Chains A and B, each alone.
Chain A
Amino acid sequence: MNRKTFLAMSTAILLSMGVAQAQDPVKIGIVVELSGAGAPAGTNWRDGIKIAVDEINADGGILGRLVETAEYDTQTDPQTSRALVQKAIDEGAYAIWGTIYSGSTLVNMLVAQQNEIPQFVGSESPAIVDKGNPFVFRTSSGAQKGVPALTSYFKDTLGARKVGIAWVNNEFGKGGHDVFAAEMAKVGIEVVADVSSEQAQTDYAADVARLKDSGADAVFVYMNQEESARFLIEARKQGLAMPLVGEVTLTEAKVIELAGGAAEGAIAHVGLTATATQVEGIAQFAAKFEQTFNRRPTHDAIKGYVGAWATKYVTEMVGEFNGAAFAEKMKNLCLDVAEHPRMLLDTCWDDRGEMSRPSFMVQVKDGAPVVIGTLPAN
């Protein structure tokens, strides 16, 4: 046969194959810290997503297409993360799940924005929703929402007039520190000790000694995992008597495991915790996670899970795989848990990607975090 006929026939065959392949998978990029300082957070995020994707695909995928994820390890380096978001987009990602470290997110979200790709992040730095990026969405409340919830706790419940802040000097710790200091100034509580520490610091004797001498009524502790544990151990050793209150990290399972008895009595405000098992969805998720991975999930795992399911719910609400339409739909959207059970809690986003959700106050009692109060979404 001549060339023209051959060309026509092969085109026809390919087209029909194309039609039959309409159910080809939708690609989503998991761009997250799988090595470096962020490895513990990133691996949990990814594992939470794994559970979600298994459930989503068992449910028929998104709009009939199965979800296919590809992992990109940012090595906790912002520049690498930026390059990898670009790579994921080049490879056809419909959405990006990650990153967690605020320093990385601030950089790589520009790329997703330029390409109109929806991005669910695990970062909590206030700056992320201040940049006017309509394509970035949080999976947990930013520090500027979470920390103010603590203000009333310090003022009313603890009756504190003077506080100390113990914080880790990286973009995570600084973000929380700045918000807290501003909040304290607003309600007239004096910050008598501002103690910064380094990531990977091992000796907290100086930090605790300063807090002890400062005359503070309570201390706000905002550090990463091991640092929180080491701080608690030193505080216990030197007999730091005042209440230690944190945001998210202080009462995590890992911190309790590392600090042992020294964690007893520590209090924290958390967005989502695997220990809030009175919420059915959370209990189910925690059980499934523990069964699959032989360890308990951290809040990063829950964030990943929620982000993945939000992608499915919202895409199906939009009805097509369109990034711009997705972003539009997300503005001021609320997904209540009655109709969207996998969101675990009633969740709302504002028009900048900031999330609002009910949250919990937990305290470590007998080696486990116990919910001592619930706060409504703010």
Chain B
Amino acid sequence: MSQFLQVFLSGLATGSIYALVAIGFTLVWQAAQTVNFAQGEFVVLPAFFVLVGVHLLHLPLWMAVALALLLSLLVLGVLFKKLVVEPILPSGGISLIIATMALGILLKESIKEFYGAEAQPFPALVPQDPINLLGATVSMQDIMNLVISLGIVVLLTLFLNRTRTGRCMQATAQNPAVAEILGVDVKRMVLYTFLINAALAALASFLITPVYLAKFSNGETLGVIAFIAAIVGGFNQIRGALAGGLLIGVLDNLTATYVTAEYRAALPLVLLIAIILLRPQGLLGTSEGRTV
């Protein structure tokens, strides 16, 4: 029993990480029609900003983190929108997908060349002490991750539904042309979307890198899992990203413990195919009518 509890809780912890990454991915997809294949690398980069701040600029940790957050907002939010999305989106979604793939490679290789190919330890921002829970061990970090993910979902949902700006963003996502007619500053709303994604990616980065260790190639698997979590959960609902992330985290661990370790990576993939074929809007998503 304690084994089950252990892998279940660890799965929730890992899943909340996937959820954080998936939420940003969903937002950008919905609001800016951008399927960001570089989302994984977006989560790797801020950690390296912190490492640069600490090891090269010798800043205290909190300052390095603040600097990293600012840089992430700038690079992953503003620059990404201006230099990649805006010029390429008019040419079509497929071109943008490929451009984000190229961007992912660019970011990954830049980290490898300019910082280093080896993994680096990362300072924990949250105490890592283990806590014993009915025979299973979780760390403070795990609980924090889960709490933060839930909190983000609640905050974002409130923001999008209850505030004026949030509703403007939703309008932009649903129908940009009409939103513009109605007086919404569409460009600014899209910018906000990218900034939120950048902030989420940075937050995810600071939370997971102490465990994952900073390495240029972390983004590969993380990015794919994020897409799968977003789609499985339901990509037009933020809580879908949360549900998808947690589900995959838990199922992955359960599969590895009780079924098969060699094919554990197949589970999310099979789930993805099944959901796309059977219920394309995802588990929690709402069905979207087809526009002719």
Contact = CB atoms under 8 A, between A and B. Distances in A.
B14 A198 contact: no
B262 A205 contact: no
Contact of A206 (B213, B253, B265): B253
Interface in B174-202: none
Contacts of A198: 264-265
B60 interface: no
A229 B119 CA distance: 10
A43 B121 contact: no
B14 A258 contact: no
B211 A207 contact: no
Interface string B209-222: 00111010110110
A37 B118 CA distance: 10
Interface in A21-49: 35, 37, 39-40, 43
Interface string B1-45: 001001100110010000000000000000000000000000000
A197 B6 contact: no
Contact of B262 (A196, A230, A237): A196
Contacts of A203: 10-11, 14, 249, 252-253
B7 A209 contact: yes
A212 B257 CA distance: 11
Contacts of A254: 118-119
B256 interface: yes
B261 interface: yes
Contacts of A238: 6, 137
A35 B117 CA distance: 8
Contacts of A210: 3, 257
A43 B112 CA distance: 12
A230 B211 CA distance: 7
A63 interface: no
A52 to B, nearest CB: 21
Nearest to B6: A209
A210 B132 CA distance: 18
Given A237-B130, A237-B137, A205 B265 contact: no
User: In this complex, which of B139, B217, B218 has the most chain A Cβ atoms within 10 angstroms of its Cβ?
Assistant: B217
Contact of A43 (B117, B217, B262): B117
Contact of A40 (B10, B117, B261, B264): B117
Contacts of B212: 202, 230
Interface of A: 35, 37, 39-40, 43, 169, 195-198, 200, 202-203, 205-207, 209-210, 212-213, 225-226, 229-230, 233, 237-239, 254, 257-258, 260
28 contacts: A39-B112, A40-B117, A169-B262, A196-B261, A198-B265, A200-B217, A200-B220, A200-B221, A202-B218, A202-B221, A203-B10, A203-B11, A205-B7, A205-B14, A206-B7, A209-B257, A210-B3, A212-B3, A213-B3, A225-B119, A226-B119, A226-B213, A226-B215, A230-B212, A237-B130, A254-B119, A258-B119, A258-B121
